[in-house]
Amino acid sequence: MTATAESQTAMLPSGYAEWIAEVKLRIRAAQQRAALAVNKEMLQLYWQIGRDILDRQAVAGWGTGVLSRIEADLRAEFPEMRGFSRSNLLYMRAFAEAWPNPDVIVQRFVGQLPWGQNITLLTKLKTREERLRYAARAVEHGWSRPLLTHHIELRTLEREGKAVTNFDQRLPKPQSDLARETLKDPYRFDFLSLGSEAEEREIEAALVTHITKFLLELGAGFAFVGRQVHLEVGGRDFYIDLLFYHLRLRCFVVLELKAVEFEPEHTGKLNFYLSAVDEQLRHEHDNPTIGLLLCKTNNRVIAEYALRDVNKPIGVAEYQLVQALPAQLEANLPSIERLQAELTEADIDELEKIHHGARGDSATPPPTVKPRPAPAGKRHATKTAKTSPGKKPPRSTKPPRSTKARR
């Protein structure tokens, strides 16, 4: 700060700093209200245009060909305005058809979303109830259009509250309801690009590497605390797979990964971890720690029995590393063997050049907590493909294609 600025600050009257800060907040709030009012007016205009087109098509027999004429007339009259293309006129008609009552724009979250988000709701969802649910959540969390599309495609809201839990018995209301809705089933980890047979440590490391996408999948409110978090109990060392803090629930969340089918004994170990975290990490004003057990597969009946007499709040859900493909599409996809057979020697040489050219020495993995040593007898050797000595992998007998054509 310069001497002139310091002298001007010293000359300010008492209470000026607080007053100017309040004025700035009022200006920003007014700007936001103005933007919402403009957006609502535009949505009402689009709804009315769409309603008129629907009525005239039904009564006067207007065909879809008239939309091109409407586009031309409106663009000629309002050349500075965008939004009157033929495709957008079709969206206006669909908007009015989806919401027959215009009050939905005034009274519901739909009216608080920009036009782009409303188009996403129309094109990605089929029912009124689904559109209202995703509209409400988009307004609540400020989802952009790409983020709204992401959650719709992953069916995020349909998976919420589906985990098997004992929260109703172990947590007071309304925290039990909020905690139950916080957990999903299944959790989708296909962004990790791992095979379905990945080991627990491999999944855990990949989740930390892709922590932003992982937190997006977990949902709003989760804050990452650490991986392989150390606890000492009775002179022995224990390590939590992943530890989070939930800002809305005001509690720690212990997440344990099991790359196997759920077994009742898994809840006993997680119950122990929750007791240790409550004793050693939980603060005075924190709520009881919650446990989330993610398994490769989960028998819901067995999980319900296992959680019935557990005295800590625990949820059990599945995770998915690979999204299942429709049977018809999967049958039409080429196999790995077929793809390998199609590779010529020139293809392999070119792929090697691309791989070595794209790989940089500066890339380093993010720092993580030092992992706990694997128990004796459970260390997994690195798996390598078995090949017969003296044999080379088969290559296609087709003549190599020129690489000059592929640039």
Model confidence at 402, in pLDDT bands (50, 70, 90)? very low
Could you tell me the CA-to-CA distances from 367 to 142, 208, 227 in Å, in that order?
Answer: 31, 10, 10
The whole-number pLDDT of residue 379 equals 43
Whether 132 shows a pLDDT value over 90: the answer reads yes
CA triple 37-39-45, angle to 5 deg: 105
Residue 32, domain member (yes or no):
yes
Q: Specify the pTM.
A: 0.62
Residue 102: phi, psi to the nearest 5?
-65, -15
Mean pLDDT of the chain: 80
Q: Is residue 137 domain-shared with residue 178, that is, in the same domain?
A: no
Q: Is residue 146 domain-shared with residue 204, that is, in the same domain?
A: no
Q: Which residues pair with 222 in a beta bridge?
A: 246
The whole-number pLDDT of residue 88 equals 93
Model confidence at 320, in pLDDT bands (50, 70, 90)? confident
Residue 2, domain member (yes or no):
no
| The CA-based dihedral angle spanning residues 138, 139, 140, 142, taken in that order and rounded to the nearest 10 degrees | 70
Model confidence at 229, in pLDDT bands (50, 70, 90)? very high
Whether 216 shows a pLDDT value over 50: the answer reads yes
List pLDDT tens digits, range 354-372.
445 544 444 444 444 444 5
Q: Is residue 34 domain-shared with residue 131, that is, in the same domain?
A: yes
Which of the listed residues 320, 348, 379 is the one where a domain comes to its end? 320
Residue 345, domain member (yes or no):
no
Which of the listed residues 138, 156, 174 is the one where a domain comes to its end? 156
Q: Is residue 174 domain-shared with residue 117, that is, in the same domain?
A: no
Q: Is residue 181 domain-shared with residue 316, that is, in the same domain?
A: yes
Q: What is the mean pLDDT of residues 263-287?
A: 93
Q: What is the mean pLDDT of residues 261-270?
A: 92
Count CB neighbours of 393 within 10 A: 10
The whole-number pLDDT of residue 326 equals 47
Q: Which residues pair with 317 in a beta bridge?
A: 294
Single-letter amino acid code for the residue at 406: R
Whether 341 shows a pLDDT value over 80: the answer reads no
| The CA-based dihedral angle spanning residues 300, 306, 307, 309, taken in that order and rounded to the nearest 10 degrees | 150
Q: Is residue 56 domain-shared with residue 172, that is, in the same domain?
A: no
Question: Higher pLDDT residue, 198 or 231?
Answer: 231
Total number of domains constituting the chain? 2
Residue 333, domain member (yes or no):
no
Whether 376 shows a pLDDT value over 70: the answer reads no
Model confidence at 58, in pLDDT bands (50, 70, 90)? confident
C-beta of residue 277 within 8 angstroms of C-beta of residue 252: yes
Q: How many secondary structure helices (H) and strands (E) does the chain include?
A: 18, 7
Q: Is residue 131 domain-shared with residue 265, that is, in the same domain?
A: no
d(CA 114, CA 118): 7
The whole-number pLDDT of residue 404 equals 40
C-alpha closest to that of 148 among 128, 163, 127, 133: 133
Burial of 22 (0-12, 13-18, 19+ CB in 10 A): exposed
Q: Is residue 199 domain-shared with residue 315, that is, in the same domain?
A: yes
The whole-number pLDDT of residue 388 equals 41
C-beta of residue 205 within 8 angstroms of C-beta of residue 369: no
Secondary structure (DSSP) of 80-135: T----SHHHHHHHHHHHHH--STHHHHHSGGGGS-HHHHHHHHHH--SHHHHHHHH
The parent domain of residue 102 ranges over: 18-156
Whether 272 shows a pLDDT value over 90: the answer reads yes
Model confidence at 397, in pLDDT bands (50, 70, 90)? very low
The whole-number pLDDT of residue 175 equals 85
C-beta of residue 338 within 8 angstroms of C-beta of residue 284: no
The whole-number pLDDT of residue 368 equals 44
Which of the listed residues 133, 156, 179 is the one where a domain comes to its end? 156
Q: What is the CATH number of the domain that holds 285?
A: 3.40.1350.10
Q: What is the mean pLDDT of residues 264-279?
A: 93
Q: Is residue 150 domain-shared with residue 211, that is, in the same domain?
A: no
Q: Is residue 90 domain-shared with residue 200, that is, in the same domain?
A: no
Q: Which residues contact 186 (CB under 8 A, 6 or more apart)?
A: 159, 317, 318, 319, 320
Residue 390, domain member (yes or no):
no
Whether 163 shows a pLDDT value over 60: the answer reads yes
Residue 6, domain member (yes or no):
no
Query: Can you give the length of the chain in residues?
Result: 407
Model confidence at 385, in pLDDT bands (50, 70, 90)? very low
The whole-number pLDDT of residue 152 equals 94
d(CA 285, CA 56): 62
Q: Is residue 172 domain-shared with residue 307, that is, in the same domain?
A: yes
The whole-number pLDDT of residue 280 equals 95
